[in-house]
């Protein structure tokens, strides 16, 4: 068997947006991923689901894997022929022990590459409004560890640091903070020199304490600052207030769970992240097309006597599946499916579905004002002529409400399932999410359909669902969430944009309280 390869990859300080393009590419082709505790939660959620993953770092007090063992794991997996990704917080060579991990690989002739990452030493200050250099204050910055060496000795040359009149960034120094500050003052630094401690930088929960070298330790203790955090010393810290930006965005400080199918989550996630939220994508459903040969479209064929044909879609997935999979798979198109003299019309449930339809070159003729099955049914009853027939091209076991309206209006319809929604039953991330909800760290869990609620309940198993702060896209989804007595809010409009708007309103109301 041929030998594999190892990629030593920097994941950046936490925010998924700071993951490099190359890192994403490398992660997507991995067979095995070993990650450590500093890798952000957003990033953990995006790691490919079917790939073997191990955590080799300390997380909330749990034991970490010794360095030698990590080195050995990387070697063993590579020798099995795998593409191994070693994912590390920040940059792998900035106090990341990346060098040690390469030594063993190099000895055994295992090929490797290094993908640099954005280091916390620069990014964390930036997210706190602190430029590490500034023409008026300093012309260099230095990255130092305040962590004592194995023998307990501190060999840092504090006099040299003070003499340089530079910005000093200390990593792994929270426990040694008092000692480091004292040494700086002893070496001649002005006790009133601005200094800051920055906790969990670039993440939704980032905090900063800006103080002076003499008071930093006490102020930090009062604020209960914990690791991971960095210390910045220098005049640039005084700019933090003026240049702070991270906390100013509408959804800053919020952690939100998105439960849509992985390929569908994109827009909601993006809009929430753009507004400053940290978004954990945990898919609770999968949508899978029904195989084209199993979808019977013969009714749509020429035999149909009706002159007015309404093709109806209740989701963008329906449109995409019908044109992209069903028709494409059957190697046919609408001209061949329908009689020449029919009056073809399209009905859609809402904006997103209409847009998807446009992508395939068709304009919707009907869209209800309120985007749900019931209203779509009512609108169809109103618009359809007396010789009309409605074709519902949608998920298996779709909403009953739509059919009830059509039945009530005495309109003939055919319900044709073109895809299936399958609820998830487990997720490797379930425990993480459960813990966060129980500790009230999650602001909202978003549900975009009743099936996402069902998938969530099945996946989380026996947790206390009354603690789940749910945001539902519409009434039907809310009814499902009510069964589990979740804390429910409902979007005013059943769209992704509506959900984002509602979230912003909820957050604003909470802040004003
Ligand atoms: N290779 C990493 C540093 C690893 S050493 C990098 O380039 O960023 C671990 C130290 O990094 C922590 O003790 C802390 O000082 C700092 N650190 C890493 N991520 C951080 C974050 N998101 N916020 C604050 N400090 C962080």
Residues forming a β-bridge with 210: 196
- Ligand 1 center from residue 418 Cα (angstroms): 49
Q: Which atom of ligand 1 is nearest to the CA of 206?
A: 23
Nearest to 87 by CA among 48, 123, 125: 48
Q: What pLDDT, on the 0 to 100 scale, is given for residue 108?
A: 95
The pLDDT tens digits for 150-205 are: 777 888 999 999 999 899 999 999 999 999 999 999 999 999 999 999 999 999 99
Pocket test for ligand 1, best of 9, 14, 228 (most atoms within 8 A of CB): 228
Q: Cα–Cα distances in Å, from 151 out to 147, 155, 156?
A: 11, 11, 14
Encode 148-164: b = buried (16+ Cβ within 10 Å), e = exposed: beeeeeeebebeebbee
Ligand 1 atom nearest residue 121's Cα? 8
Residue whose CA is at the smallest distance from ligand 1 atom 2:
90
Q: What is the pLDDT of residue 10?
A: 97
Alpha carbon nearest to ligand 1 atom 9, residue: 172
- Ligand 1 atom at minimal distance to the Cα of residue 92: 1
Give nearest CA residue, ligand 1 atom 24: 229
pLDDT of residue 305: 67
Distance 228 CA to ligand 1 centre (A): 6
Question: Best substitution site from 17, 120, 122, 200 to test ligand 1's pocket, by max atoms within 8 Å of Cβ?
Answer: 120
- Rounded average pLDDT over 217-226: 97
Q: Which residue CA neighbors atom 5 of ligand 1 most closely?
A: 95
HEC profile for 215-227? CHHHHHHHCCCCC
Which residue is listed with tokens 């028709």? Answer: 327
What's the pLDDT at 340? 76
Residue 58 bears catalytic tag: yes
Expressed in angstroms and rounded, the spacing between residue 101 Cα and the centre of ligand 1 is: 18
Distance from the alpha carbon of residue 58 to the mean position of ligand 1, in angstroms: 13
Contact 55, 36 (CB under 8 A): yes
Cα–Cα distance measured from residue 452 to residue 460, given in angstroms and rounded to the nearest whole number: 12
pLDDT of res. 33: 97
What is the pLDDT at residue 155? 85
> 176 CA distance to ligand 1 centroid (A)?
15
Which run of H or of E encompasses 469? strand 469-472
DSSP letter for each residue of 92-123 = TTSSS-HHHHHHHHHHTT--EEEE----HHHH
**pLDDT of 19 strictly over 70:** yes
pLDDT in tens, 362-409: 999 999 999 989 999 999 999 998 888 899 999 998 888 999 999 999
20-45 tens-digit pLDDT: 999 999 999 999 999 998 999 999 99
**pLDDT single digits (tens) 50-72:** 999 999 876 544 567 888 899 99
Residue 178 CA to residue 218 CA, distance in Å, equals 9
Q: What is the pLDDT of residue 306?
A: 65
> What average pLDDT does this structure show over 346-356?
95
CA geometry: angle 385, 390, 391, nearest 5 deg: 155
Ligand 1 centroid, distance to 12 Cα (angstroms): 9
Q: Which atom of ligand 1 is nearest to the CA of 117?
A: 7
Is-cis flag, bond preceding 351, omega within 30? no
- Predicted confidence (pLDDT) at residue 304 exceeds the cutoff of 70: no
Give the pocket of ligand 1 (CB within 6 Å). Answer: 13-14, 38, 88-91, 94-96, 119-121, 124, 171-172, 198, 200-202, 227-230
User: Can you tell me which atom of ligand 1 is nearest the CA of 91?
Assistant: 7
pLDDT, tens digit (0-9, with 9 covering 90-100), for 310-322: 999 999 999 999 9
SS (H, E, C) 299-362: HHCCCCCCCEEEEEECCHHHHHHHHHHHHHHHCCCHHHHCCCCCEEEEEECCHHHHHHHHHCCC
- In sequence order, the 6+-apart residues with CB closer than 8 A to the CB of 342 are 304, 306, 307, 308, 309
Give the model's pLDDT for residue 299: 72
The residue to which tokens 């209409």 are assigned: 354
- Looking at residue 60, what is its pLDDT? 42
With tokens 């003026």, the residue in question is 242
Max avg pLDDT among 30-44, 138-152, 332-346: 30-44
Q: Point out the catalytic residue in the list 5, 22, 53, 58.
A: 58
What confidence score (pLDDT) does residue 312 get?
Answer: 97
Q: What percentage of residues in the chain have a pLDDT greater than 90?
A: 79
Q: What does DSSP assign to residue 247?
A: G
Q: How far apart are CA 300 and CA 315, in angstroms?
A: 20
Beta-strand runs (E) in 157-223: 167-171, 194-199, 207-212
**Cα–Cα distance, 278 to 449 (Å, whole number):** 22
Q: Identify whether the C-beta of residue 104 lies closer than 8 Å to the C-beta of residue 72.
A: yes
Q: What is the pLDDT of residues 432-479, one digit of tens each?
A: 999 999 999 999 999 999 999 999 999 999 899 999 999 999 998 999
Minimum CA distance residue for ligand 1 atom 19 = 13
- Rg (C-alpha) for the chain, rounded Å, is 28
90 against 304, higher pLDDT? 90
Say whether pLDDT at 488 is over 60: yes
> Is the confidence at residue 336, as pLDDT, over 90?
no
Q: How many CA atoms lie within 13 A of 405 on its CB side?
A: 17
- Rounded to an integer, what is the distance from CA 400 to the centroid of its chain? 32
Tell me, in angstroms, the distance from the centre of ligand 1 to residue 168's CA: 14
pLDDT attached to residue 67: 86
Closest CA to ligand 1's atom 15: 171
User: Quick check: 91 pLDDT over 70?
Assistant: yes
Q: At what angle do helices 98-107 and 67-79 cross, to 10 degrees?
A: 40
**Rounded mean pLDDT, 273-281:** 96
Q: Separation of 278 CA from ligand 1 center, angstroms?
A: 18
Atom of ligand 1 at shortest range from CA of 147: 13
258-288 as b/e: b if 16+ CB within 10 A: bbbbbebbeebbebbbebbbbbbbbbbbbbe
Q: Whose CA is nearest to atom 25 of ligand 1?
A: 229
C-alpha to C-alpha distance for 236 and 489, rounded to whole angstroms = 43
> Measuring CA to CA, which residue among 335, 396, 395, 345 is closest to residue 366?
345
Marked catalytic residue, from 31, 36, 91, 443 = 36
Ligand 1 atom at shortest distance from the alpha carbon of 200? 23
Q: Which residue has the tokens 């900063």?
A: 208
Mean pLDDT across the chain? 92
């Amino acid at each position: 068997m041929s030998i594999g390869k190892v990629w030593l990859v920097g994941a950046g300080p936490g925010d998924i947006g700071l993951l490099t393009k190359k890192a994403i590419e490398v992660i997507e082709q991995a067979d095995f991923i070993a990650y450590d505790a500093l890798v952000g939660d957003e990033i953990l959620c995006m790691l490919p689901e079917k790939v073997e993953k191990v955590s080799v770092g300390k997380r909330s007090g749990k034991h970490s894997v010794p360095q030698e063992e990590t080195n050995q794991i990387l070697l063993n997996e590579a020798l099995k022929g795998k593409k191994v990704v070693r994912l590390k917080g920040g940059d792998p060579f900035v106090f990341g022990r990346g060098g040690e991990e390469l030594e063993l690989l190099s000895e055994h002739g295992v090929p490797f590459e290094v993908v640099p990452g954005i280091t916390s030493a620069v990014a964390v200050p930036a997210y706190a409004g602190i430029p590490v250099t500034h023409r008026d204050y300093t012309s260099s910055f230095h990255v130092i560890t305040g962590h004592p060496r194995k023998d307990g000795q501190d060999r840092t040359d504090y006099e040299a640091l003070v003499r340089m009149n530079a910005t000093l960034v200390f990593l792994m120094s929270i426990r040694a903070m008092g000692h480091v500050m004292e040494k700086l003052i002893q070496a001649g630094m002005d006790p009133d020199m601005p200094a800051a401690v920055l906790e969990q930088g670039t993440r939704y929960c980032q905090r900063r304490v800006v103080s002076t070298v003499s008071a930093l330790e006490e102020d930090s203790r009062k604020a209960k600052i914990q690791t991971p955090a960095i210390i910045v010393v220098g005049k640039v810290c005084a700019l933090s207030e003026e240049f702070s930006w991270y906390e100013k965005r509408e959804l800053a400080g919020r952690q939100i769970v998105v439960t849509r199918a992985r390929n569908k989550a994109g827009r909601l996630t993006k809009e929430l992240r753009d507004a400053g939220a940290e978004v954990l994508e945990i898919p609770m459903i999968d949508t899978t097309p029904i195989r084209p040969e199993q979808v019977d479209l013969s009714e749509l064929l020429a035999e149909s006597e009706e002159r007015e044909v309404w093709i109806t879609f209740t989701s963008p997935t329906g449109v995409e599946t019908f044109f992209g999979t069903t028709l494409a798979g059957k190697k046919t198109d609408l001209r061949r499916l329908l009689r020449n003299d029919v009056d073809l019309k399209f009905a859609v449930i809402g904006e997103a579905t209409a847009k998807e339809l446009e992508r395939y070159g068709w304009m919707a003729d009907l869209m209800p004002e309120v985007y749900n099955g019931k209203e779509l049914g009512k609108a169809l009853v109103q618009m359809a002529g007396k010789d009309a027939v409605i074709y519902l091209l949608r998920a298996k076991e779709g909403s009953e409400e739509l059919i009830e309206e059509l039945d009530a209006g005495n309109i003939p319809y055919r319900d044709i399932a073109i895809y299936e929604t399958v609820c998830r039953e487990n997720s490797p991330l379930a425990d993480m999410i459960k813990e966060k909800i129980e500790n009230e760290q999650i602001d909202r869990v978003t549900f975009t359909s009743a099936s996402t609620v069902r998938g969530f309940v099945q996946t989380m198993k026996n947790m206390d669902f009354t603690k789940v702060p749910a945001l539902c896209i519409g009434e039907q989804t809310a009814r499902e969430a009510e069964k589990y007595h979740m804390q429910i809010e409902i979007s005013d409009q059943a769209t992704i944009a509506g959900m984002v708007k509602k979230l912003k309103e909820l957050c604003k109301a909470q802040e004003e309280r």
